Copies of this chain bind each other. A is one copy, B any other.
Amino acid sequence: MKYARITIAIAALVVVIGLENTRAQDESSFGGFNLVDQNGNIRKPKDYRDRYQMLGAYTVTDPKGDQMHFTYASPGAAEYYRQNKNFADGTVLVKEILRTDHAKMTSGNAEWATDTEAWFVMVKDARGRYSSNALWGDGWGWALFKSDAPDKQVATDYKKECRSCHQPAKADDWVYVKGYPVLQSK
């Protein structure tokens, strides 16, 4: 009986540890649909700056003020892409549109990111879910959040508001992968 009790206690512990690991695995591997409700509405992930991996950055010149774009992906996204040459179902991409500042620094004239103006969020959908939702199509869910209400999704039709800017990247599954060196090598 004594051994049986210990066995049960340890077995319970193993199950608990196992569940913890499964949950961590779930959250860390392409868990984009945790951010999507049953109608296809997309939430912006919390803590992506702390938890996601960086894909890369674009600096965009603009007479009204340069911007930087930082793109983050859910953990493991780049490794999967390097192995499979495509994004895993459920991969989340977050592109921050940031204001910039600049100064002469020891390395030369340098520019860096300051406040975030907007966030574009994409969730990879390899199965054609939410076909009646105008923010889903071409293999992705598309979402936009702006700094005046950072948690409010404001896009209404990805074909009008998102796709035109991504058209040149259509052959790369609509993502500007050339600016993301980690997708080519570690």
A181 contacts across to B, CB distance below 8 A: 98, 113-116
Segment with Cβ contacts to B, from A55-63, A125-133, A141-149, A151-159: A55-63
Q: Is A171 an interface residue (CB 8 A)?
A: no
Q: A57: which of B52, B57, B166, B167 is its contact (CB, 8 Å)?
A: B57
Least Cβ–Cβ distance between A105 and chain B, in angstroms: 7
**Is A72 in contact with B56, judged by CB distance below 8 angstroms?**
no
Given A49-B53, A49-B186, A107:B10 Cβ within 8 A = no
**Is B78 in contact with A57, judged by CB distance below 8 angstroms?**
no
Q: Is A19 an interface residue (CB 8 A)?
A: no
Given A49-B182, A179-B112, A164:B57 Cβ within 8 A = no
Give per-residue flags for A40-61: 1 if the beta carbon is below 8 A from chain B beta carbons, else 0.
0000001101111110111111
Closest to A116 in B: B181
A3 contacts across to B, CB distance below 8 A: 3-4, 7
Q: Is A106 an interface residue (CB 8 A)?
A: yes
Q: Is A13 an interface residue (CB 8 A)?
A: yes
5 tightest Cβ-Cβ pairs between the two chains A and B: A112-B179, A54-B54, A3-B3, A57-B57, A61-B109
